[in-house]
Structures are given as C-alpha cells and as structure tokens.
Amino acid sequence: MGGLAGRVVCVVDDFPWVHRASADALLFAARRLGTERIAMLFAVRGDMLAKGIPLTVDVGGLDESAAAELLESRDGSPPA
C-alpha cells in the first residue's frame, strides 16, 4: 500500500450479505491496516449491528462531493 498517494476508502454495503470467504478476507485486511491511510466502511441495517462495534455513524447516501467533504473533515486533507 505504500505506493498509493492519498487515501483509499473501501465501502461495503449490506455487509451481512457478503459471501463468507469475502467477508473474512475484508475483516482480515481491516485488522491489519495499522497506520495505512485506508478507511474501511461496512454498512449494515440498524437491526443488524453487532455489540462491540467501535463507532457507528448514521449517514444518508453520499455523492462523491459529500464523501470527499466527510473524509476531509476527519484530518483536513482531501482524498486522492
């Protein structure tokens, strides 16, 4: 990942419906990101939230401009 400029966002909608092997691979990667500039967003319905999720943010649909604004508000730099 060191060769990438800027940040990367991986968004998975309807995460509970993702194929089990794919979900395992995504979660494996998410646990090992460390200080990489990568955000992993796994969207689920409110009634499917598991206990222990560190942060829940309820948002409506985001267009490209709104997504960039949200990311920039986190650390001040625009996404790649």
Residue range 17-64, pLDDT digits in tens = 889 999 889 888 888 887 777 888 888 776 666 665 555 556 567 788
Section 3-18 average pLDDT: 78
Backbone angles phi, psi at 11, to 5 degrees: -115, 125
**3-class state of residue 45 by DSSP:** coil
12 pLDDT higher than 60? yes
pTM assigned to the model? 0.48
What is the rounded radius of gyration, in angstroms, for the C-alpha atoms of the chain? 14
Report how far residue 30's alpha carbon sits from residue 41's, in angstroms, rounded to the nearest whole number. Answer: 10
φ, ψ for residue 8 (rounded to 5)?
A: -125, 140
What is the mean pLDDT of the segment spanning 68-73? Answer: 80
Separation between Cα atoms, residue 78 and residue 72, nearest integer Å: 5
